[in-house]
Amino acid sequence: MEQLPGALVAAADGVVDGVEHRADLGCLLRTEGAGLPAEIVDRSQAVVELVEVSAQESGQLGGVIHVNAGPYPLVRPPKPAGSDNCLGMETDGAHVAGDVVGDVVDAHIESFVWARVLRYDLTRRHGRGLLGGRLYSQVDLPRMRDAGLTGGVFSIATNPFRSRDGRRMTLTANIGRLRTILESDPGVAVVDDVAGYRRARAEGRMAIFLAVQGGNAVGADGVASLPGVVSRVTVVHLTRSSLGSPSRPLGGARPRGLTAAGRDYVEALEARRILVDLAHVNGRGFWDALDALGPSTPAIVSHTGVRGVHDVWRNIDDAQIRAIADTGGVVGIMYHAGFLGESSADAVVRHLEHVVNVGGEGCAALGSDWDGLIVTPRDMRTIADLPVLMRAMAARGFSDGRVAGIIGANYLRVVEAVRG
């Protein structure tokens, strides 16, 4: 979608119900068709920019508001009968989308890495970037909001080539930096449990959980030092560490699983009520981690594909899906075309469906890996294309309850079981 300066499409400066209204804040999506005035649901906040929402080419409704003090007010556009909401689903009360009905939570977003490396501004609306949405420029906070997300998990990846002390200090700095970026947007709340998520939603804010990818960021003896805001840790990431080994294309003749330190690490995460994420770990390490976990603690695989649909090294098999389901956990399906086997939203849906068929309705979740150097499906280049996935699930015959679970409820259930 093209962008225009807000001043070109917003109403003139003035006062709306006693609230100062400015027309010169930020950037808005170009819209097509007749405008529909937005309804201010909460007029108690400070300065807002009230703009029109319009029926766009795809038939969905969208709108943008800006606030320079306090939380974003809840703004809800009036919806004509039969219109689509921000996720492209019929708004008859039966489907789930954004703050209309239910929860929309992506369990794995990697966008912070680009803020670290290229100073990518997560608070600003971006286009598809120089590569047309491949590898990066797939997510920012405004586009998350437009797509109807009520929450997400931002991951902080570990640089394994730093020293042990360097990794710890860098993680501490990165947690602080990411929080500062996210909390500079008054429409975002950083949360560490589902109770916090629900408070954020009640305030009209998007709730963001923080996760660490690579347990070697602190090591087995450093779990106690992890800040309470860290809700999840991916035990093993891309390289072999003192904790264990990742899955690899060539595997190796005798791949090792988790080390003794890795098992201790899993136990320490469980004691801290931090979710154990088994994405990236090799098969032997996967089973070692489940052995180390208590029988009543859910485990997750935050972002993966499944071998029952596309048999490649990075994906998990049916036995692993069933094992995660047996713990009460979830498997998040990622959007990298190479692991999906086909470059389409339909391929994502087939992987989700396989997880449901093997592990049950409560086992599947969205784990996009947006901005994690992935090549996304042709019809789902960025988070702005989430409606395409919603329509693909509907076309596949997914029930309302299944969709609600996949797009948010299943992951939140697991977080609540572990963290409250």
**Together in a domain, 23 and 131:** no
37 plus 137 within the same structural domain: no
Residue 158's pLDDT is 85
pLDDT of residue 239: 84
Residue with the two structure tokens 């405008």: 35
Q: Which residues pair with 48 in a beta bridge?
A: 21, 67
- DSSP label of 148: T
Asked whether residue 97 is assigned to any structural domain, the reply reads no
Q: Are residues 266 and 360 in the same domain?
A: yes
62 and 129 co-located in one domain: no
Task: Specify if 7 maps to a domain.
Answer: yes
Per-residue pLDDT at 254: 65
- Are 113 and 56 found together in one domain? no
Helix, strand and coil content of the chain, in percent to the nearest 5, comes to 35, 20, 50
Phi-psi region of 135 (alpha: psi -120 to 50; beta: other; left: phi over 0): left
Q: Residue 316: give the domain boundaries.
A: 105-419
Whether 301 and 239 share a structural domain: yes
Beta strands (DSSP E) in 47-131 are 48-49, 52-55, 61-62, 66-67, 75-76, 105-109
Same domain? For 166 and 54 the reply is no
pLDDT value at residue 251: 60
CB 376 within 8 A of CB 416: no
Same domain? 325 vs 253? yes
The model scores a pTM over 0.85: no
The total domain count for the chain is: 2
How far is the C-alpha of 409 from the C-alpha of 105, rounded, in Å?
8
User: Does 215 reside within a domain?
Assistant: yes
Same-domain pairing of 263 and 140: yes
Confidence (pLDDT) at 253: 54
The structure tokens listed for 5 are: 């300066």
What local confidence, expressed as pLDDT, does residue 248 receive?
82
Handedness of CA 272, 273, 279, 283 (dihedral sign): positive
**One domain, residues 289 and 376:** yes
Query: Does residue 15 belong to any structural domain of this protein?
Result: yes
Distance in angstroms (rounded) separating the CA atoms of residues 408 and 107: 8
Query: Of 37, 57, 76, at which residue does a domain stop?
Result: 76
Do 28 and 161 fall within a single domain?
Answer: no
Q: What is the mean pLDDT, run by run of 10 residues, along the chain of 420 residues? A: 26 30 28 29 25 26 30 32 38 33 91 93 95 94 97 93 89 96 98 98 97 88 92 91 86 77 95 96 95 95 98 96 98 98 98 98 97 96 97 97 98 97
Structure confidence at residue 194 (pLDDT): 98
Pick left, alpha or beta for residue 137 (phi over 0 → left; psi -120 to 50 → alpha; otherwise beta).
Answer: left
Alpha-carbon span 37 to 77, nearest angstrom: 7
How far separated are the first and last CA of the chain, in Å rounded? 39
CATH of the domain at 178: 3.20.20.140
The interaxial angle of helices 318-327 and 345-359, nearest 10 deg, is 60
Do 319 and 350 contact (CB within 8 A), yes or no? no
> 260-271 and 283-292 are packed helices; what angle lies between their axes, rounded to 10 degrees?
50
Domain annotation covers residue 394 = yes
Residue 317's pLDDT is 97
96 within domain boundaries: no
Give the per-residue pLDDT at 252.
Answer: 57
Residues 71 and 110 reside in one and the same domain: no
| Residue 388 included in any domain | yes
In sequence order, the β-bridge partners of residue 210 are 154, 230
Pairing of strands 206-213, 188-190: parallel
